[in-house]
Structures are given as C-alpha cells and as structure tokens.
C-alpha cells in the first residue's frame, strides 16, 4: 500500500482460517483439514480530518461455489 498519510496503527495482515467447503458448495474435495487459509488480507487505520478511517484489503475468491474454483488439496 502506498500512501501520503501515515497510518495510526501499523499495517497488519491476518492468518485467519475459515470453514471449508462453504455451505451450498458443489465442491467434492477430501481435505485433511476442515478449514482453509485466508491469505492476503490486511488492515490499518488512518486519521483524516479528525475522523478515523479503517482501510481493509480483502482477497476474495470469485464464484467460490463453482466446482472449477474448488480447493484442490487432497488428503494424504
């Protein structure tokens, strides 16, 4: 992220995980884990004209319920 305004809190990213497959999914994937990592998410906060602004970057999968978008990690 490039900015001319200094953030109030340091930019941080998350290593959160989410349940997988999602409800209503057509994925037929056998995984060793029932969760999947949510990478590339980050958050910071700015103070602009006396107002607090939260800036979050999210990486979302397009069409997560389509078979061709399923996670292809197989159990071992």
Residue 76 has pLDDT above 50, yes or no: no
pLDDT on residue 75: 43
Confidence band of 74 (pLDDT split at 50, 70, 90)? very low
Say what the pTM is: 0.53
Q: Which of 34, 52, 55 is nearest to 43 (CA)?
A: 55
Per the structure block, which two tokens stand in for 59?
């990486």
Are 57 and 45 in contact, with CB atoms under 8 Å apart? no
Cα angle for residues 73, 75, 76 (degrees, 5° grid): 120
pLDDT tens digits for 13-26? 877 777 776 667 66
Confidence band of 64 (pLDDT split at 50, 70, 90)? low
- Distance from C-alpha of 30 to C-alpha of 54, rounded to nearest angstrom: 37
pLDDT on residue 22: 67
- Distance from C-alpha of 38 to C-alpha of 59, rounded to nearest angstrom: 8
pLDDT on residue 73: 47
């Amino acid at each position: 992220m490039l900015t001319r305004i200094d953030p109030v809190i340091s930019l941080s990213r998350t290593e959160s995980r989410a349940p997988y497959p999602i409800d209503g999914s057509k994925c037929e994937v056998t995984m060793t884990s029932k969760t999947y990592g949510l990478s590339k998410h980050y958050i910071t906060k700015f103070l602009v004209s006396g107002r607090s602004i939260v800036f979050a970057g999210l990486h979302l999968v397009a069409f997560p319920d389509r078979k061709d978008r399923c996670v292809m990690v197989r159990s071992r």
